């Protein structure tokens, strides 16, 4: 009994160490999360330390790095000037393609950026207005503050306040999959999970060069990267890391957007 | 022993007061701005009235469904069902109360939302979907607490009513329900509290449009959902506005509790 009493705190301590580990913690953009998980797994397999990935959104990632909760923040938008002023450094790892997705039964295959803007601002509220069959348009968007939403707003235009709001890229995918009249936007890796149709924008498919809806994807650090974070970033920029980024549907940094 | 228990009670009370004070203090800079009709953080508008309407709509809808069903179930278990059936149903009710809310949300998202869209129209993500999910979630609370309230009545009440020639229904309506009123009101208030505070399950099925609903098929955003969705991003005035939303929720729950205490007297 006494041994058990002595061992118990030790066991608790051990369990706590095992769960948190000494590894690198990455928090941030939910649309970068699938790629970050693949990179982390490959990094650990190639002999690197443990890396744990958390979502929460771009701004949550920035906050986590600022407060020292995470070593790296995954950010799918440009850093705001006041964020850079606080000592944050963005390391762009690639360019994400913001994919406009509809239900597979939607006859539309392509859309112009101008028409997309009219749909999402709420000016065009019927599919007939953009060359589709008649019926109401159900917009599905991310919440205010999301990196995807900010990128979409700067590339396409304002989002109607009547748009349905889902708080992750995966939830947008589920919502659009369930509704033949819905339209939403997600990053290409999420669109590739299946069940959705990606629209060509301004005549370019998302996998073609010149696709217009492109945004930088970065890992941010507080000051220059050090230790495990620097090693992970080196791996991400290595040929193996760049290949994984390409496989996930992103354009690796250096290949140009 | 007494001092230990006293310390426990004080700690619980202090925790509530500390949380309330913290929420109000953090929300104070935005308290003036939150009673507006437009929520648009990108434009600096932080009015939570649409979310207040959303919360009230889904909560009222849920109670309209769950209160009659829950009290009916309590009556069935105490007055009608043979004891064997009661012992079979009670664990099921408890299991229903123990299901994590995200599971209810997921079931609602995959079954209810498409069914509403196909059957009734609109986007499917709606106040109605939220009310239905919440109704199932608060039903076990109302039924269990209501059953306890009915069971606590002296058997002489029922026996006396029946001996005077009342039909079973008359005995329930004229004697048992009025006598158990205070306990039944408690059951409803507990259900109301859970419905008002529930976040995840509602967030998943209501569509979260920050506009007051005009029909049950319109999407809504609740006060709790608003905090949960945007807290990761909020800084400055936006963050203060979310804390003010929390303070409003707190005040709402306190108001409901006070009203219930009066009604049950």
Residue A160 has a pLDDT of 93
Q: Write down the pTM of the prediction.
A: 0.80
A145, two tokens: 């503050």
Residue A3 has a pLDDT of 46
C-alpha distances (whole Å) from B113 to each of A185, B85, B105 are: 20, 33, 10
Alpha-carbon distance of A150 to B209, in angstroms, equals 18
Cβ separation A179–B117 shorter than 8 A: yes
Question: DSSP H helical segments within B99-126, as ranges?
Answer: 101-107, 113-120
Q: Who among B114, B123, B235 is closest to A138 (CB)?
A: B123
Could you report the per-residue pLDDT of A101-144, keeping only the tens digit for each? 999 999 999 999 999 999 999 999 999 988 888 999 999 999 98
% of chain B exceeding 90 in pLDDT: 68
pLDDT, mean of residues B217-236: 88
Helix, strand or coil, per DSSP, at residue B265: coil
Preferred mutation among A142, A164, A168, A182 to probe B, highest tally of B CBs within 10 A? A164
Helix, strand or coil, per DSSP, at residue B233: coil
> Nearest CA to CA, how far is A46 from chain B (Å)?
33
Is residue A196 within 8 Å of residue A104, measured between CB atoms? yes
DSSP code of residue A181: T
pLDDT, mean of residues A54-74: 89
A229, two tokens: 């974070």
Burial of B264: CB neighbours in 10 Å, binned 0-12, 13-18, 19+: middle
pLDDT, mean of residues B196-200: 91
Residue B117 has a pLDDT of 92
Cβ separation B109–A57 shorter than 8 A: no
Q: Does B148 touch chain A (CB under 8 A)?
A: no
Residue A255 has a pLDDT of 63
Residue B10 has pLDDT above 70, yes or no: yes
Residue A11 has a pLDDT of 41
**Residue B3: how many other CB atoms lie within 10 Å:** 7
pLDDT band at A15 (very low <50, low <70, confident <90, very high): very low
Burial of A100: CB neighbours in 10 Å, binned 0-12, 13-18, 19+: buried
pLDDT, mean of residues B202-229: 93
Alpha-carbon distance of B262 to B265, in angstroms, equals 5
A23, two tokens: 């590894």
Cα-trace Rg, chain B: 21
B263, two tokens: 């009604």
**Which residue from B202, B194, B198 is spatially nearest to B105, judged by alpha carbons?**
B202
pLDDT band at A13 (very low <50, low <70, confident <90, very high): very low
Could you report the predicted ipTM of this complex, rounded to two decimals? 0.82
pLDDT band at A22 (very low <50, low <70, confident <90, very high): low
Could you report the per-residue pLDDT of B76-130, keeping only the tens digit for each? 999 888 889 888 988 888 888 889 999 999 999 999 999 999 999 889 999 999 9
Alpha-carbon distance of B133 to B58, in angstroms, equals 9
> Nearest CA to CA, how far is A76 from chain B (Å)?
13
Element at A73 (helix H, strand E): strand A72-75
């Amino acid at each position: 009994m006494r041994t058990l009493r002595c061992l118990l705190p030790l066991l608790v301590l051990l369990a706590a160490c095992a769960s948190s580990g000494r590894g690198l913690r990455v928090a941030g953009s939910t649309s970068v999360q699938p790629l970050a998980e693949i990179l982390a797994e490959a990094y650990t397999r190639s002999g690197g330390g443990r890396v744990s990935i958390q979502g929460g959104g771009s701004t949550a990632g920035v906050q986590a790095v600022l407060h020292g909760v995470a070593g790296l923040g995954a950010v799918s938008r440009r850093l705001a000037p006041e964020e850079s002023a606080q000592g944050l450094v963005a390391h762009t790892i690639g360019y994400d393609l913001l994919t406009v997705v509809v239900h597979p039964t939607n006859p539309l295959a392509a859309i112009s950026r101008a028409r997309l803007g009219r749909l999402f601002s709420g000016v065009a509220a019927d599919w007939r207005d953009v060359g589709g069959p008649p019926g109401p348009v159900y917009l599905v968007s991310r919440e205010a503050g999301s990196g995807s939403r900010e990128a979409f707003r700067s590339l396409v235009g304002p989002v109607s306040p009547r748009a349905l709001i889902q708080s992750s890229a995966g939830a947008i995918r589920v919502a659009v999959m369930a509704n033949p009249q819905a339209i939403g936007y997600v990053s290409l890796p999420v669109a590739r999970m299946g069940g959705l149709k990606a629209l060509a924008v301004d005549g370019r498919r998302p996998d073609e060069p010149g696709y217009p809806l492109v945004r930088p994807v970065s890992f941010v650090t507080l000051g220059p990267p050090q230790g495990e974070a620097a090693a992970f970033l080196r791996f991400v920029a290595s040929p193996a890391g760049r290949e994984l980024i390409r496989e996930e549907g992103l354009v690796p940094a250096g290949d140009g957007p | 022993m007494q001092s230990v228990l006293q310390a426990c009670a004080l700690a619980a009370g202090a925790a509530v007061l500390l949380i309330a004070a913290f929420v109000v203090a953090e929300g104070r800079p935005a308290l003036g701005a939150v009673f507006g009709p437009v929520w648009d953080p990108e434009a600096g508008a932080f009015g939570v009235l649409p979310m207040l309407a959303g919360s009230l709509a889904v909560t009222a809808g849920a109670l309209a469904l769950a209160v009659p069903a829950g009290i009916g179930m309590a009556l069935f278990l105490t007055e009608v069902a043979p004891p064997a059936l009661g012992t079979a149903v009670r664990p099921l009710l408890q299991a229903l109360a123990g299901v994590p809310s995200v599971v209810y949300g997921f079931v609602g998202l995959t079954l209810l939302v498409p069914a509403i869209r196909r059957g009734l129209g609109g986007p499917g993500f709606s106040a109605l979907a939220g009310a239905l999910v919440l109704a199932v979630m608060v039903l076990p609370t109302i039924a269990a607490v209501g059953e306890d309230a009915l069971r606590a009545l002296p058997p002489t009440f029922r026996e006396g009513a029946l001996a005077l020639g009342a039909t079973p229904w008359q005995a329930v309506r004229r004697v048992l329900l009025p006598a158990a009123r205070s306990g039944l009101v408690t059951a409803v208030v507990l259900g109301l509290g859970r419905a008002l505070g529930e976040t995840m399950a509602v967030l998943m099925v209501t569509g979260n449009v920050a506009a007051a609903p005009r029909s049950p098929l319109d999407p809504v955003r609740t006060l709790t959902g608003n905090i949960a969705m945007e807290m990761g991003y909020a800084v400055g005035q936006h963050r203060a506005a979310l804390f003010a939303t929390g303070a409003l929720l707190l005040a709402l729950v306190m108001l409901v509790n006070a009203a219930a205490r009066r009604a049950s007297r």
